Chains A and B, each alone.
Chain A
Amino acid sequence: MHLMYFTEQPMSAYNEAAGRDFGATALMFSNKHFDPVAGSRLYNEYLEHYRLAESVGFDGIMLNEHHNAPFCMQAKCNVFASILAATTKRVKIVLLGNPLPLADNPVRLAEELAMIDMVSCGRLVSGFVRGGGQEQLATGVNPAYNRERFEEAHDLIVKTWTQPGPFRWEGTHYQHRVVNPWAVPLQKPHPRVWIPGVLSKETIIWAAQQRYPYIALSTEIEATKKIWEQYDKVANECGYAGGPEYRGYLQRCHIAETDEKAMANARQFMWMQGEFTGLAHPVWSSPSGYFSPSYRQAFVEYAVGRRSNPRGAAFEDQLQNGQILAGTPKTVIPRIRKLLEETRPSIMGFWAADGFVSHADTRSCIKLLGEEVLPAVREIGKELGLWSPFEANAPTGRKFLDPAVPAGV
């Protein structure tokens, strides 16, 4: 198994009441509520947590980015990836990921990622995402072309990584006279690409067509099984068998010395009113053209208040269905076993704390995860045959069937 540590990097030092009064904590919720003094402290605490996660035995650190919202103060995952490339030694740096449609110059992204891969000595996993609905508005990018831009930017980046320049790119959304960045990735054929997601069927199908692992983000067990069903069907059509090495799962998991304390801290996973992207504005979160056409009816009804947000389940329900795990190592390990038995992922992300959980409690959680939970999970993984893409030497992707390895090794 590949076991990753994750935090949303919550900007917990903001005025929650102001967010509730405004009715949304995204896009146009004023950044006058951002406190850079607290921001400076929190960024450094998060860095400390990442380094601790490496020292207690995690295999990877998962990073993401979001914009204009307090639920995640990381505005550019490549910035933290660069810091971790230089300040960690062993962990994979797993970006889930760079929001491709938001980029106007994917070649620049390809260069940045190549630099991170070289500085980290080949520890980069470069996931890609579409970006949230409101982030299309936050960055002025046309939501109606989100998927086109995602796919074209991906194709351009992989070509930039794998084909010697110079070459010319005349695409629909990107045109480059000369593609010939000096920096190229250390890993050959190219760094692994993993694709995280929650909802869109189109993304699952695309990931399976590319032969990239799909990372289900905090989905319910039954929904996750449906994702794998869809993935495996496409994999079969593409001439390979899906399975654990193509499956990742991120779940919220808080560990403490007592069940009571763990439960109290786990309630902080609901600090954003139960939705991990914060108090959503129904229009901004789903601009026209961004969502899958098969959900059009649901989204238009949500946009005018005729339907509640399908992602806003209660804490008790999320505990019940395994979307939130909380307790001591002893109480949580059997619940993780159930998740693994039911959904069979080989990549597992532990989203350890959120909201206002203290620095000390987060540290304690990371230590307990590393010292007591991860060893048990590894044993379960072996018993269930959940071999990660690294252990299974899985192909880098559809186009390159060799596993990614650092050049010169």
Chain B
Amino acid sequence: MNWTSETVPTAGVTLQLNRAGSGAPLLVLQHDVGTPPGLPFYDTLARDATVLRPAHPGYDGSERPMWLRNVRDIAAVYQTLLSQHAATRGRTDVTVVGLGFGGWIAAEMATMAPGAFRRLVLVGPMGIKPERGEIADQALVSYIDYVRLGFADQKKFDAIYGAEPPTPTLEQWDLNREMTFRVAWKPYMYNASLPHLLGGVSTPTLVVWGREDRIVPLECGERYAKALPQARLSVVDNAGHFVEMEQPEQLARLIGDF
């Protein structure tokens, strides 16, 4: 798959935007830890869509806007990005796929434009406070331990990052973590208004959860499915928080069939 990477000025920030494929637009929003550059999951998505895969402002090489201090700011930036895309490419039938922290951003976007997307896919999103458990707090664990916590199968972590990820990877994780603290420190990783606002979202939504997600409890998936009027929950076995890295074919299939 031929990916292009460009720098796009959008709503007061400059985004690093990766793009591939053709057809209806599909926006992929990434995790708080960012992403390894070339995952098979992205290639699969790009077979049937124009995939837009930005690095969040302040993450993975996108410039850090000093003013940007909450998750809804990021959601607003992406709404502008989609408007720009619609204006130049003429397509508005967009699918948004949000992974973990990116799922939270996608949910916030949906509350800002309740019927604007064709489909919404939330994969293990943060954003809603669990009633029983807790969202795992990366502030208390090392970079490696946090990412490992998101894998059900540690061999998959080893295969993707290496058993001992090199220092430049750790430095990027640290930069990403710092940006996460800037936008989601307190309350940590949720917005108390979100469950209420989700009630107004008319977009058909697929909520996907790794059965062994140790970062965001499955309970939050149930709450998302309940809060969104047009949602259903699909649980993926043998996957933790990073479903797109552990079960990429299955996740792509779920999205394709949705």
Query: Which of B141, B173, B174: most chain A CB closer than 10 A?
Result: B174
Q: Which residues of chain B have C-beta atoms less than 8 A from A137's C-beta?
A: 139-140
Give min CB distance, A325 to chain B, whole Å: 37
- Contact across chains for B142 and A282 when beta carbons are under 8 A apart: yes
Interface presence of B178 (CB below 8 A): yes
**B132-174 vs A, Cβ < 8 Å mask (1 yes, 0 no):** 0000000111111000000000000000000000010011011
How many contacts A-B (CB < 8 Å)?
Answer: 54
- Contact across chains for A144 and B143 when beta carbons are under 8 A apart: no
Give min CB distance, A265 to chain B, whole Å: 36
Chain A interface residue count, Cβ-Cβ cutoff 8 angstroms: 21
**A138-171 vs B, Cβ < 8 Å mask (1 yes, 0 no):** 0010111100000000000000000000000000
Contact partner of A304 (CB less than 8 A), chosen from B144, B175, B177, B186, is B144
Q: A137-B139, A297-B167 are contacts. A288–B144 as well, Cβ < 8 Å?
A: no
Interface presence of A16 (CB below 8 A): no
Q: Bound state CA distance, A96 and B175, in angstroms?
A: 30
- Contact across chains for B178 and A144 when beta carbons are under 8 A apart: yes
Give min CB distance, B170 to chain A, whole Å: 4
Interface presence of B185 (CB below 8 A): yes
- Contact across chains for B170 and A143 when beta carbons are under 8 A apart: no
Interface presence of A284 (CB below 8 A): yes
**A292-307 vs B, Cβ < 8 Å mask (1 yes, 0 no):** 0000110111011010
Secondary structure of the B contact surface, majority rule:
helix
Contact partner of B143 (CB less than 8 A), chosen from A140, A143, A145, A304, is A304
- Which chain A residues (199-235) contact chain B, with CB distance < 8 Å? none
Interface presence of A101 (CB below 8 A): no
Q: Which residues of chain B have C-beta atoms less than 8 A from A289's C-beta?
A: 177-178, 181-182
Give min CB distance, A377 to chain B, whole Å: 44
- Contact across chains for B170 and A142 when beta carbons are under 8 A apart: no
- Which chain A residues (289-341) contact chain B, with CB distance < 8 Å? 289, 296-297, 299-301, 303-304, 306
- Contact across chains for B181 and A142 when beta carbons are under 8 A apart: yes
- Contact across chains for B140 and A300 when beta carbons are under 8 A apart: no
Give min CB distance, B76 to chain A, whole Å: 19
Give min CB distance, B184 to chain A, whole Å: 10
- Contact across chains for A288 and B178 when beta carbons are under 8 A apart: yes
- Contact across chains for A296 and B181 when beta carbons are under 8 A apart: no
**A272-295 vs B, Cβ < 8 Å mask (1 yes, 0 no):** 000000000011100111000000
Chain B interface residue count, Cβ-Cβ cutoff 8 angstroms: 19
Give min CB distance, A286 to chain B, whole Å: 9
- Which chain A residues (107-138) contact chain B, with CB distance < 8 Å? 137
- Contact across chains for A304 and B139 when beta carbons are under 8 A apart: no
Q: Bound state CA distance, A170 and B9, in angstroms?
A: 30
- Contact across chains for B167 and A287 when beta carbons are under 8 A apart: no
Give min CB distance, A170 to chain B, whole Å: 15
Give min CB distance, A23 to chain B, whole Å: 13
**Which partner residue on chain A sits nearest B188 by CB separation?**
A140
Q: Which residues of chain A have C-beta atoms less than 8 A from B142's C-beta?
A: 282-283, 303-304
Q: Bound state CA distance, A137 and B181, in angstroms?
A: 12
Q: Which residues of chain A have C-beta atoms less than 8 A from B171's C-beta?
A: 296-297, 300
Give min CB distance, B59 to chain A, whole Å: 12
Query: Which of B175, B179, B181, B186: most chain A CB closer than 10 A?
Result: B181
Q: A142-B186, A283-B140, A296-B174 are contacts. A301–B181 as well, Cβ < 8 Å?
A: no
Q: Bound state CA distance, A28 and B141, in angstroms?
A: 12
Q: Which residues of chain A have C-beta atoms less than 8 A from B174's C-beta?
A: 288, 296, 299-300, 303
- Contact across chains for A283 and B178 when beta carbons are under 8 A apart: no
- Contact across chains for B181 and A144 when beta carbons are under 8 A apart: yes
Q: Which residues of chain B have C-beta atoms less than 8 A from A296's C-beta?
A: 171, 174-175
**Which partner residue on chain A sits nearest B144 by CB separation?**
A304
Give min CB distance, A180 to chain B, whole Å: 29
- Which chain B residues (204-250) contact chain A, with CB distance < 8 Å? none
Q: Bound state CA distance, A143 and B185, in angstroms?
A: 9
Q: A283-B141, A300-B143 are contacts. A288–B167 as well, Cβ < 8 Å?
A: no
Contact partner of B186 (CB less than 8 A), chosen from A140, A287, A301, is A140
Q: Bound state CA distance, A143 and B173, in angstroms?
A: 16
Give min CB distance, B93 to chain A, whole Å: 38
- Contact across chains for A301 and B167 when beta carbons are under 8 A apart: yes
**B109-138 vs A, Cβ < 8 Å mask (1 yes, 0 no):** 000000000000000000000000000000
**Which partner residue on chain A sits nearest B141 by CB separation?**
A283
Contact partner of B170 (CB less than 8 A), chosen from A145, A284, A301, is A301
Chain B residues close to A by CB (< 8 Å): 139-144, 167, 170-171, 173-175, 177-179, 181-182, 185-186
Query: What are 10 A-B contacts defined by CB distance under 8 Å?
Result: A145-B182, A289-B177, A289-B182, A299-B174, A300-B171, A300-B173, A301-B167, A303-B142, A304-B143, A306-B167
Q: Other than A296-B175, A304-B143, give 10 A-B pairs with Cβ distance below 8 A.
A: A137-B139, A142-B182, A145-B182, A283-B140, A283-B142, A297-B171, A300-B143, A301-B170, A303-B142, A306-B167
